[in-house]
Amino acid sequence: MSRLSAVLGSDFVYRFRRDPIAIVAFAVTAAFMLAALLAPVLSPMNPHDPAQLDIMNSEIPPVWQSGGDPAFLLGTDDQGRDMLSAILYGLRISITIGIFAVMVQMALGIVIGLMSGYLGGKVDAFFMRLADIQLAMSTLMLAIVALAVFKAAFGAELFSDMAIIMLVLVIGIAEWPQYARTIRASVLAERKKEYVDAARVIGLSAPTIMRRHILPNTLSPLLVISTVQVANAIISEAALSFLGLGMPVTMPSLGSLISAGFAYIFSGSWWITTIPSIVLIVLILSINLLGDWLRDVLNPRLYKG
Amino acid sequence: MSGHTQTAAAPAASGTTAPAAVADRPLVEVDGLIKHFDLGGHFLQRERPTVKAINDVSLGIRRGEAFCLVGESGCGKSTLARIVMGLLDPTGGAIRFDGTRIDGLKHTARKPFHRRMQMIFQNPYASLNPRRTVQKTLEEPLRFHFPNLSDADVKTKVEQVMVSVGNDPSWGTRYPHEFSGGQRQRISIARALMVDPDFVVADEPISALDVSIQAQVLNVMMDTQEARDLTYLFITHDLSVVRHFGTRVGVMYLGTLCELADTATLFENPRHPYTRILLSAIPRISTEEMKPPGLPGEVPSAMNLPSGCVFHDRCPLANARCSAEVPRAQCQADGTLVACHAVEEGRG
């Protein structure tokens, strides 16, 4: 109980409560996360199940438009799929890919960043040049090449089965330099401090010092870039799906929904593309606003009172 | 590299000493130590720029003494301490602890020496990990070196050491930022004492503290020395602390050892011209006006050392020999080691 009151009374919570943007951003992000988590409960139908689709229901507009059907609140797409269900399930897939891709990035980035920063010398030079080379090519370019090669080599069928894993790996591996560089920079600052020398004097091994002493002191920048990176990963996933290299139409993510509806936008069925786009934009915006707020709070040089 | 045969305080080979001499053998021997820092530089440069931080320093620290190393900033005293502790690797020379050569030891082979040698750091605000509670910080060395201890034993030991340095054992659950500088430094001392070391290096342990706290921390260190029969290597630039604390003193200038003497001898009868000037700079309360120490110029860069004696271009007694030949430490009648041509020739 005292722990809970300590958290509630902390500076962190105080500043959160004082900042309406942070509250709204947090509420929206949390709502989306919850909706994604509860998608099977919330959605009227399972959009991944072709048996539940009826082609006769295709392209029904949202309820507030003439011709809308109360059974399909946000209308249906070209295959008669309920948009609300498709968006909820799509959100689920997008967020899953975003979070897991960031976990891959984080794992790679932490290991490489810690080693580069702590060991220095040739290890550092090797990994940082590798990061430079990788950053010289954009994430999307790398991902498109990797996914296109995979799709060509193993066929579209296997690709659609493996799409989630492939997207997580590709986006995860393509963006490790962001983490590695951030961690390395904080490790360089931390390892000069005397508590690291004290740990060395005790006789602890380098991996133990990195894990037990240095890593916990680099966590706040990690938290900040993680929020931004989740948003980036979701955008990358959407972009790849839009280009046809991501989630298949049978298991649409937000990106594939936008892509699928794009062909119908001029035939009047604007909602198939527009509604998932709005969801994507609001989600990314609130995650980024939350990340900005977190950065300001965790940076002691930016006290705004 | 050739000067270390002259040093009476550091018998060279440990294998040849007779058993009777073991007790007299210095606990820590620094033998012909050289440390150059490579500054990288351009790969086409013929000579890579190096900082010559320590140039052929030899000294021996006897059991149970508080050996003080003094000198101005950048003279290499902290570097020497860090090499002794294994935080830096020497470029040349040897470090022996209790007769065993410890420089260049592999990590696992060094473990017993990690237990016997501990260090207290200069900045109590940086030497404690801000994310760990005091209890965790203090338990860490104990659990690492004595993995078989039970939780209850560890707890008792932490409490006992905390009390012995004048800390409240209930501080364990708190974080370093909740304490003042003096309290943190006492926690730091407690951490060093957790594994019952024989030898403690203190790298300017009081220079970051308030004057009112300095004496308190110094007293804690002196009390623990008495209670635990510790040997100290005490790095400082505060000469009044040396007088109060040290058994013997080494004076360093620009990476070399100028003079090594008993504390009383050094303060009564400083031989090396640098030591004399250094001692004359101690502030005194007197009605006389203090003369400026009379040391011309600035400390030369350690990247580009003067030829011969490193002190010759600022020394009032320097002659042609001083700028050509590196002086070696000569043992005086009272056991003081002085590295100065002028003292050797009786010019002083």
Per residue in B157-175, pLDDT tens?
999 999 998 899 889 888 8
Q: State which residues form the domain around B214.
A: 28-39+49-282+297-345
Identify the H or E element spanning B29: strand B28-38
Instruction: Give the pLDDT confidence score for residue A103 in this predicted structure.
Output: 94
Domain range summary for chain A, segments of one domain joined by +: 10-46+64-302
Q: What one-character DSSP code corresponds to residue B306?
A: P
3-class secondary structure, B258:
strand
CATH of domain A10-46+64-302: 1.10.3720.10
CB within 8 Å of chain B, chain A residues 79-98: none
Angle (CA) B27-B29-B32 rounded to 5° is: 180
- Nearest CB partner across the interface for A203, out of B111, B129, B130: B111
- The distance of B8 to chain A (nearest Cα, Å) reads 30
- The distance of B168 to chain A (nearest Cα, Å) reads 22
Q: Tell which of A186, A200, A202, A209 to mutate to test the B interface (max B CBs under 10 Å).
A: A202
Name the domain count of chain B.
Answer: 1
B319 touches B309 (CB < 8 A): no
In-domain check, residue B290: no
CATH no. for residue B324?
Answer: 3.40.50.300
- The distance of A247 to chain B (nearest Cα, Å) reads 42
- pLDDT class for A302, splitting at 50, 70, 90? low
A197 interfacial to chain B (CB closer than 8 Å): yes
Mean pLDDT of chain A: 86
In-domain check, residue B153: yes
Which chain B residues are Cβ-neighbours of A216 within 8 angstroms? 129, 131-132
pLDDT above 70 covers a percentage of chain B that reads 90
Cβ contact, residue pair A202, B128, below 8 Å: no
- Answer yes or no: is pLDDT of B107 > 50: yes
Average confidence (pLDDT) over B110-116: 91
In-domain check, residue B90: yes
- pLDDT class for B2, splitting at 50, 70, 90? very low
Average confidence (pLDDT) over A12-19: 84
A119 interfacial to chain B (CB closer than 8 Å): no
Cβ contact, residue pair B107, A199, below 8 Å: no
- Answer yes or no: is pLDDT of B3 > 50: no
Tokens for B219, please give them: 């007293």
Residues in B whose CB is inside 8 Å of some CB of A read: 82, 85-87, 107, 110-111, 114-115, 117-119, 121-123, 126-132, 140-141, 144-145, 188, 191, 195
Cα gap A239→A254, rounded to integer Å: 10
In-domain check, residue B44: no
Cα gap A93→A207, rounded to integer Å: 36
Q: In what order do the strands lie in the sheet with B231-236?
A: B117-120, B199-203, B231-236, B66-70, B248-253, B256-262, B337-338, B330-331
Give alpha helix (H) positions in B85-150.
107-116, 134-145
Q: In this prediction, does ipTM exceed 0.90?
A: no
